Amino acid sequence: MAGEYSRNIHKNTLTVGMQALEKQIQSILSSLYPPEEAGKAAGLLVRWIDEARSLSPNRIPDPGWSSRDIVLVTYADTLSRKGQYPLQTLSEFLMSRCEDIVSTIHVLPFFPYSSDDGFAVEDFSSVNPPLGSWRHIERLSQNFRIMADLVLNHVSSRSGWFASYLKGEEGFQNLAIEVSPQADLSRIVRPRETSLLTPFVKADGTRVHLWTTFGPDQVDLNYQSPDVLLKMMDVLFLYLRHGISMFRLDAVAYLWKCSGSAGIHLKETHALIKLIRLIVTAVRKDAILVTETNVPHEENIQYFGDGEDEAHLVYNFTLPPLLLHAFIYGDTRTLSRWASTLRTLSGHTTFLNFTASHDGIGVRPLEGIVEPDELRRIIRRIRENGGKISYRRDFNGNRVPYELNITYIDALNGPETRNEADLARRFLASQSVPLILPGIPAVYIHSLLGSRNWLEGVRQRGIARAINREKLDMDEVNQATQCSDSFRFRVFQGLSKMLRTRREQPALDPQASCEVLKIDPRLFAVRRSCPQQTLLAVVNVTYQNWITSLPADGISQKGFCVLNKKTIDMNRVEIGPHEIFWIQPGCLEENSNEK
């Protein structure tokens, strides 16, 4: 493991700015730990920051973000080629096929692990040897911003840290959370069906019950111990040194545990996020924190803090299931009402907009937005299309749906889909929505590549989430995405074109203004505006043709679609099944002259 948190660092004289930073850090730590422990930890963290600043490969000012920022999410080994480390294969694919369509690569956990496809980490400090090495991660960071998972909540039961805990070694005695089986855990929010407590036997024969939020192989870390906090912050500094500048705080809502509470969103958890924000931005002005909290929207946006002190980005978890609702029902009214409420607290915060991910489509974010009967209809469609349903336990011990396990492509399939061309068009229509909403889009690699349900993987592994985690041969993917009659070609080329076009539209900057328009329930429409451009984005969520008028800018009755390069009469627009328009004022000739 990282194992460096107790190293002796030369005691430099701190600048006035660093002294002020130490006071800020100590103030946060004092809300969590006794004064002496808080002071000692604050002094150590500031010295680590001072050292890291001198070694940081990138101390550029905060560049903000723009319409050019797009994240691609992938496992290190989604693509493979015989005789190559998967991280080399990934780099080759990115440079040859994706350099002009994405800016950031989220490489899902690439550490040695025991389960959960990387999220039961055995060693936070190492790259899993079959994947490659830190050298490969550093090379990737020379061409793309790298986003990595900081798996803060838990550690593998097979990790070196946990083995040291079981042995009672110094510095590890309080690693895990020991709980009496008689403790009041009735209010704890559960994201799984598995038991919250798992029994283990220590080296001295003592039997203990440990907090395991996500399953028996993922032992929750005890942040009431400063030793645990410092160990994980040492990991954070290691990642910074290897060129990682964007951090996904995995399952962060569950970080602080307290019997008798809900065990989620506690004030101590927010304090820890504030601490991490201080640390990463002190080392790299361009560092970004992303909170992963699969909960209802109002709970989710708490993680913006005051707009300056917690997450820069929050995953927009309500978007995937609510967008699916709009396409299944052929009605955008619920989606539009919700989208019109999207607000951030400052120019330093925005949403990470996505539809598909390595996990399923969470349904908790639909609470209070759609009726139970509507959710049941969505679940029926998912099952009809070969998907699976994962469950959790509620406060009463009832088994309730937690997420839909299916590729987003297959989730959208329906009785009116006649062929693969129809399905590809419908899927691309859905993918246009996260590209036009305020925020930064995140595209899962299997969406970009047009992957379908991997049912064989589910059968082989017995894991519902495997349905969207297929491992692919790089050369076969290249061939399919360049073969004009293949489904992968239709999706890859169509989505790449949208991503490429989006990067050139100033009005799709995350901070550009957004007005959700109520033109027709069958259309989702927004007007995005900035000083350089106004863009009207419209998508048909149905299989039907519609003729309608679109709101002009008050000056011109003509519009220019930047996607298909056509001039449009705004008074009479024919919108085909699942057609997408991104329209700016003027006609083809006017926009050509401007360029």
Helix, strand or coil for residue 272?
Answer: helix
55 near 97, Cβ under 8 Å?
no
- Tell me the two tokens of residue 65: 């973000």
570 near 558, Cβ under 8 Å?
yes
- Tell me the two tokens of residue 166: 């079981």
CB-based contacts of 592, cutoff 8 Å, min separation 6: none
Closest Cα partner for 252 from 298, 211, 221, 230? Answer: 221
The one catalytic residue among 217, 234, 250, 509:
250
Residue by residue, DSSP assigns 342-366 as ---SSTT-EEEE-S--SS-EE-GGG
- How many other β-carbons are positioned within 10 Å of the β-carbon of residue 401? 19
Tokens 């496809």 sit on residue: 117
For residues 169 and 162, what is the distance between their CA atoms, to the nearest angstrom?
10
Phi and psi at residue 495, to the nearest 5°: -70, -40
Judge whether 286 counts as a catalytic residue: no
For residues 385 and 453, what is the distance between their CA atoms, to the nearest angstrom?
9
CB-based contacts of 353, cutoff 8 Å, min separation 6: 316, 319, 434, 435, 437, 439, 440, 441, 442
For residues 567 and 590, what is the distance between their CA atoms, to the nearest angstrom?
10
Angle at CA 79, nearest 5°, toward 73 and 83?
A: 140
**Which helix (H) or strand (E) element contains residue 460?**
helix 455-461
Q: What amino acid positions are annotated as catalytic residues?
A: 250
